[in-house]
């Protein structure tokens, strides 16, 4: 603990779960006045949920929030704001089509009987912007300003005279270096006024630049809280993605005498401007290639480029030595490539459809819509998949939305496998599922690989990669920075490669 | 010039252009007499469209408007034959419109139902209600109604404003004040622009949604009152499809169908353009009424395509 007098805000035993996922598990945190506290963690670690709870946008299941030593009940964003907890949410924070002054005046009292006094609203807006030394035309729509200016507008809107804690969720995600520097100048000034600042980001450099304290979350649990001066980059990365696990090291040993099959997919100079720098990648039969890197390093982008879900603007792909004329999801499916996306709710599964119907989707797409798969065939296939992957369900007609996270992930896999792919791309196959299902999925990956399939597995869990992969591709800042083979695959080696400058 | 006025300017330009074209084709077209008539004939649809403007600005839609107009008419007519004073029934029907709209808004927000389907239900319920009340056209004979129908304010140049037109202009002024000088008005734009952001910024989204549909409801009821006074009768099949004309007027007036962008004043000109088109074609005489819909349709099409390009610059700047 930092031990620097009384905290401004203290969170005690915060619990929050969503259907199928525990988002926050007994989290205890405190934020000190006049210090910048960075919150780190991969996607789904619980950062966003935590600040939504703190700012009243989400109700917690249990736990307590203390503000300056007083127990408070944060029921809404408006209530939080009145107490002095100001939050600037990621991306969604202003109404782009409305003018700056209208955004500033929204949900504020400046005028009687529900009327708005635009004279007062304008003065208020100008005053607020002045605090951040922002001199802009307040009548122009917010959307016509750069993202950096929008971010500053959102901050000045959130800051009240009584603001004691300011929460910034990924404020620098879309800023360039110069814009970030000016934002940091503002943060430092607010900090010197005694405001506690909570700063969420996935840029490690920025954490070391600006923060005083660092807390790391993983899978809804608080891993650690330290002062930044006691930490090295390597410590932070280890705590974010590495985890001591004997079992993992053990599996790595088994792979030492591995020999890969023939090249199945060869990407040459594949890339897209501003998304991912051109890279070479080879996937071989009977081999699992792991994709390691921090959040935002380009893991997902690489998988999507290979599949064609993101259109590449450079490079080419050869499958079995034949060059693909154009890379698109449909062409990839026909060529025997299957893809399981990271966000299974948004991209992978349709919750209202049954297990059988979800499994059929990709298979039907591969066959073309005219050749229908008979109901009998469908049922047979679904039953086989449920048995093969040990999906816990009474029957194949249960809507996927009612399954647990781990079983949903298995349905995603089943769906990909139903089209009998030769190359399988998995993005975060174990996201948001419990430990038991975790091990099952990894065992499944190894089994598929033994059957001669070529796999590419992107994961934020280093141990998962160490356990599953025969070869690891390491990513940093939207570049492929290297590959690690066979025996060399250890947690420490990967972390070192990511941390090396 | 602020970008947000561009669509309104385009609407006014089209209106003036159509008016001048009419003037060049027919004698006496460019007069306050024609203008007064267009205002009188379209007063009810413009009033309904003003209410619809709020609903569309909030990102919703209201299909119950036409049925509400007819329902208000038949109830007024039947109560008139039962001896009620029109002022009492008018007050009652306005309150009904407000409450019915509020109910629709509440269900839409509380049950997270698409506004389209909820107000479609409202359309059927109210139209069915009309047939429950009466199956025939019922005249309204109270002297108050006759007096209202004959009250006119002369305009320079031989034209005049009817009661309906004046009610319409007054309700327009009130709507402009609500939209631009009240917190509720700002909240409507906010939830139409980005509902989730608005919620996170502290906008009371449920209250705003309920009030938005209530506003739509009370304006639809007022349109019904004006229509009943204009025709001096109530008819259960009246104003069929008027909600679509109202939506067309709103869109022609420069309001974005996806919500968050638009001006109430534009709706007046949107409605006037629709009225002007039918007047032009009626003046021509030989063209049949099919052309009224065809030319309105073409104009609507041109406008929505134009908005697409005008509005593009309002959008949030996205990362590539």
Note whether A47 and A122 are same-domain residues.
Answer: yes
Provide the shortest C-alpha distance from residue A93 to chain B (in Å): 5
Q: H or E element: which one contains A352?
A: none
Whether residues A440 and A358 fall in one domain:
no
Q: Does one domain contain both A183 and A83?
A: yes
pLDDT of residue A59: 86
Residue A110 β-bridge partners: none
Distance between CA atoms of residues B300 and B30, nearest Å:
24
A146 & A195 share domain: yes
- DSSP of B140-156: ---HHHHHHHH-EEE-T
Domain boundary among A209, A231, A253: A231
pLDDT computed for residue A411 by the predictor = 83
Q: Which helix (H) or strand (E) holds A212?
A: none
Q: Is A147 on the interface with B (CB under 8 A)?
A: yes
**A15 and A137 housed in the same domain:** yes
Q: A397 in contact with B at a CB cutoff of 8 Å?
A: no
Q: Which domain holds residue A208?
A: 9-231
Q: Is residue B318 part of a domain?
A: no
Q: Please name every residue paired with A115 in a beta bridge, in sequence order, or none if there are none.
A: B182
Same domain, A122 and A152: yes
Q: Is the pLDDT of residue A393 over 60?
A: yes
Q: Do B197 and A111 touch (CB under 8 A)?
A: no
pLDDT of B316: 38
Q: Which pLDDT belongs to residue B133?
A: 92
Task: Tell me which chain A residue has its CA closest to the CA of residue B187.
Answer: A106
* Residue A203 confidence class, pLDDT cut points 50, 70, 90: confident
Alpha-carbon gap: B210 to the closest alpha carbon of chain A (Å) = 16
Residues of B in contact with A97 (CB under 8 A): 189, 193, 260-261, 314-315
**Domains contained in chain A, number:** 3
Q: Which of B27, B29, B25 is nearest to B38 (CA)?
A: B29
Residue A126 lies in a domain: yes
Quick check: is B77 in a domain?
A: yes
Q: State what percent of residues in chain A have pLDDT above 90.
A: 3
- pLDDT for A249 beyond 60: no
Asked, for residue A239, whether it belongs to a domain, the answer is no
Chain A positions in Cβ-Cβ contact with residue B316 (cut-off 8 Å) = 96, 143
Smallest Cα–Cα separation from A307: which of A463, A488, A115, A456? Answer: A456
Q: Which residues of A touch B315 (CB under 8 A)?
A: 96-97, 143
The answer to whether residue B319 is domain-embedded is no
Chain B positions in Cβ-Cβ contact with residue A144 (cut-off 8 Å): 3, 313-314
Judgement on whether residues A456 and A491 belong to the same structural domain of the protein: yes
Nearest CA-CA partner of B267 in B178, B152, B137, B139: B178
pLDDT score of A255 more than 60: no
| Helices (H), ranges, A132-245 | 147-158, 177-192, 204-210, 233-241
Interface touch B186/A102, C-beta < 8 Å: yes
In chain A the first and final C-alpha atoms are separated, in Å, by 30
Angle at the Cα of A160 from the Cα atoms of A157 and A163, rounded to 5 degrees: 120
Q: Give the integer Cα–Cα distance in Å for A115 and B184.
A: 8
A237 part of a folded domain: no
Structure-token pair, residue A186 = 């503002």
Least CA distance to A158: which residue of chain B?
B201
In a domain, A291, yes or no: yes
Mapping DSSP to helix (H, G, I), strand (E, B) and coil, where does residue A336 land?
coil
The H or E element that residue B182 is part of is none
Nearest CA in chain A to B259: A97
Please say which residue of A394, A420, A446 terminates a domain: A420
Tell me if B299 is assigned to some domain. yes
Predicted pLDDT of residue B300: 83
Domain assignment of residue B207, given as a range: 3-313
- Does residue A342 lie in a domain region? no
**pLDDT value of residue A228:** 84
Q: Are residues A224 and A264 in the same domain?
A: no
**Does the CB of B1 have a partner CB in chain A at under 8 Å?**
no
pLDDT tens-digit series, residues A13-48: 988 887 666 788 888 988 988 899 998 887 667 888
Alpha-carbon distances, residue B271 vs A152, A172, A432, B265, B275 (angstroms): 41, 46, 53, 10, 6
Q: Which of residues 332-351 of A touch B (CB under 8 A)?
A: none
Question: Would residue A412 count as lying in a domain?
Answer: yes
> Distance (Å) from the C-alpha of residue A224 to the closest C-alpha of chain B?
29
**A29-32 contacts, C-beta under 8 A, 24 or more apart:** A29/A215, A29/A222, A29/A225, A30/A1, A30/A2, A31/A7, A31/A165, A31/A196, A31/A198, A32/A2, A32/A4, A32/A5, A32/A7, A32/A8, A32/A196, A32/A212, A32/A213
Residue of chain B nearest A138, judged by CA positions: B2
Reported as a single tens digit per residue, the pLDDT across A294-351 is 877 888 889 989 988 888 888 888 888 888 877 888 888 888 888 887 766 666 677 7
- Do A227 and A268 lie in one domain? The reply is no
Q: Which residues of A touch B184 (CB under 8 A)?
A: 114
Number of domains in chain B: 1
Is A152 contained in some domain? yes
Q: Does B179 touch chain A (CB under 8 A)?
A: no
Considering A3-17, A404-418, B32-46, the range whose residues carry the highest mean pLDDT is B32-46
> For residue A447, how many other CB atoms are within 10 A of its CB?
11
pLDDT per residue of chain B (320 residues) written in tens, 0 to 9? 566 777 788 888 888 988 898 888 888 788 888 889 899 999 999 999 999 999 999 999 999 999 999 999 999 999 999 989 999 999 999 999 999 999 999 999 999 899 999 999 999 999 999 999 999 899 988 888 888 888 888 888 778 889 999 999 999 999 999 999 999 999 999 999 888 888 888 889 999 999 999 999 999 999 999 999 999 899 999 988 899 999 999 998 988 888 888 899 999 999 999 998 888 888 877 667 788 888 888 888 888 787 767 655 444 333 32
Residue B304, in any domain of the structure:
yes
Say yes or no: A204 and A170 in one domain: yes
Q: Do A115 and B203 touch (CB under 8 A)?
A: no
Q: Which of A103-107, A170-174, B229-233 has the lowest mean pLDDT?
A: A170-174
| Chain A positions in Cβ-Cβ contact with residue B260 (cut-off 8 Å) | 95, 97-98
A&B contacts, CB < 8 Å: 99
From chain A, the residues in CB contact with B204 under 8 A are: 107
A103 in any annotated domain: yes
Tell whether A82 is within 8 A of chain B (Cβ): no
Is A106's CB within 8 Å of B181's CB? no
Final residue of a structural domain among A231, A260, A282: A231
Among A426, A387, A389, residue whose Cα is nearest residue A406: A389
**Alpha carbon of A175: minimum distance to chain B alpha carbons (Å):** 10
Looking at the domain assignment, is residue B320 inside a domain? no
CATH of the domain at B168: 1.10.3470
- State the sign of the Cα–Cα–Cα–Cα dihedral B259, B263, B264, B268: negative
Q: Is A191 an interface residue toward B (CB < 8 Å)? A: no
Q: What is the pLDDT of residue B186?
A: 93
Answer yes or no: do A435 and A407 share one domain.
no
Q: Residues A443-467: what's their mean pLDDT?
A: 83
Q: Which residues of B touch A89 (CB under 8 A)?
A: 197, 200
A252 versus B72: which is more confidently predicted? B72
CATH number of the domain enclosing A501? 3.40.50.300
Q: Quick one: A412 and A428 in the same domain?
A: no
């Amino acid at each position: 603990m930092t031990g620097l007098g009384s905290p401004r805000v203290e969170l005690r035993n915060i619990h929050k779960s969503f259907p199928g996922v525990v988002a926050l598990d007994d989290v205890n945190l405190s934020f000190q006045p006049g210090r910048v506290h960075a919150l780190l963690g991969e996607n789904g670690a619980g950062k966003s949920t935590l600040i939504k709870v703190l700012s009243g946008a989400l109700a917690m299941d249990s736990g307590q929030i203390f503000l300056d030593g007083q127990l408070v009940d944060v029921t809404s964003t408006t209530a939080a704001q009145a107490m002095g907890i100001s939050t600037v949410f990621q991306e969604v924070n202003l109404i782009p089509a409305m003018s700056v002054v209208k955004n500033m005046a929204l949900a504020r009292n400046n005028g009687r009987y529900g009327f708005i006094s635009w004279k007062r609203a304008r003065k208020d807006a100008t005053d607020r912007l002045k605090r951040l030394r922002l001199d802009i035309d307040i009548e122009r729509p917010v959307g016509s300003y750069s993202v950096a200016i929008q971010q500053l507008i959102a901050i000045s809107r959130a800051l009240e005279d009584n603001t004691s804690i300011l929460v910034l969720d990924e404020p620098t995600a879309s800023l360039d270096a110069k814009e970030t520097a000016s934002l940091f100048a503002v943060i430092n000034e607010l900090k010197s006024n005694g405001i506690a600042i909570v700063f969420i980001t996935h840029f490690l450099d920025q954490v070391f630049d600006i923060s005083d304290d660092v807390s790391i979350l993983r899978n809804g649990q608080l891993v650690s809280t330290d002062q930044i001066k006691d930490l090295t980059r390597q410590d932070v990365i280890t705590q974010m993605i590495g985890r001591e696990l004997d079992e993992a090291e053990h599996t790595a040993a088994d792979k030492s005498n591995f020999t890969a099959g023939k090249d199945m997919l060869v990407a040459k100079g594949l890339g897209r401007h501003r998304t991912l720098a051109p890279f070479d990648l080879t996937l071989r039969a009977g081999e699992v290639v792991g994709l390691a890197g921090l959040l935002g390093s380009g893991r997902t982008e690489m998988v999507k480029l290979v599949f064609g879900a993101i259109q590449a603007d450079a490079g080419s792909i050869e499958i079995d030595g034949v060059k693909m004329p154009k890379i698109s999801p449909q062409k990839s499916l026909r060529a025997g490539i299957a893809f399981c996306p990271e966000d299974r709710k948004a991209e992978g599964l349709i919750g209202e459809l049954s297990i059988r119907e979800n499994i059929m989707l990709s298979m039907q797409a591969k066959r073309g819509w005219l050749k229908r798969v008979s109901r009998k065939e469908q049922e047979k296939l679904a039953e086989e998949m449920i048995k093969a992957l040990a999906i816990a369900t009474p029957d194949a007609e249960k809507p996927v939305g009612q399954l647990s996270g781990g079983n949903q992930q298995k349905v995603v896999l089943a769906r990909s496998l139903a089209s009998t792919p030769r190359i399988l791309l998995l993005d975060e196959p174990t996201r948001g599922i419990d430990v038991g299902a975790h091990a099952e999925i990894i065992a499944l990956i190894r089994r598929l690989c033994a059957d001669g399939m070529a796999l590419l597995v992107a994961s934020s869990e280093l141990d998962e990669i160490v356990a599953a992969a025969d070869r690891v591709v390491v990513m940093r800042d939207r570049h492929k920075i290297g590959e690690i083979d066979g025996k060399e695959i250890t947690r420490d080696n990967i972390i070192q490669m990511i941390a090396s400058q | 010039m602020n970008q947000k006025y561009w669509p309104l300017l385009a609407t006014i330009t089209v209106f003036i252009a159509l008016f001048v074209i009419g003037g060049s084709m027919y004698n006496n077209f460019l007069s306050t007499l024609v203008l007064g008539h267009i205002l009188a004939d379209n007063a009810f649809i413009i009033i309904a469209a003003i209410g619809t403007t709020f609903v569309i600005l909030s990102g919703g839609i209201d299909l119950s408007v036409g049925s509400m107009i007819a329902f208000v008419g038949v109830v007024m007519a039947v109560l008139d034959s039962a001896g009620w004073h029109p002022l009492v029934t008018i007050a009652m029907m306005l309150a009904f419109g407000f409450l019915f709209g509020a109910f629709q808004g509440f269900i839409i927000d509380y049950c997270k139902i698409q506004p389209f389907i909820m107000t479609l239900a409202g359309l059927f319920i109210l139209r069915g209600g009309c047939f429950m009340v009466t199956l025939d056209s019922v005249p309204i004979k109270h002297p108050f109604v006759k007096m209202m129908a004959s009250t006119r304010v002369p305009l320079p140049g031989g034209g005049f404003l009817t009661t309906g037109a004046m009610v319409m202009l007054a309700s327009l002024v009130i709507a402009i004040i609500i939209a631009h000088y009240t917190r509720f008005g700002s909240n409507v734009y906010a939830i139409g622009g980005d509902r989730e952001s608005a919620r996170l910024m502290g906008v009371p989204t449920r209250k705003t949604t309920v009030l938005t549909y209530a506003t739509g409801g009370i304006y639809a009821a007022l349109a019904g009152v004006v229509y009943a006074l204009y025709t001096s009768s109530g008819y259960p099949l009246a104003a069929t499809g008027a909600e679509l004309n109202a939506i067309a007027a709103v869109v022609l007036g420069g309001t974005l169908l996806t919500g968050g962008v638009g001006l109430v004043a534009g709706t007046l000109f949107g409605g006037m353009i629709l009225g002007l088109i039918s007047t032009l074609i009626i003046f021509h005489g030989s063209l049949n009424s099919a052309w009224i819909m065809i030319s309105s349709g073409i104009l609507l099409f041109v406008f929505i395509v134009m908005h697409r390009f005008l509005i593009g610059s309002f959008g949030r700047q996205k990362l590539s």
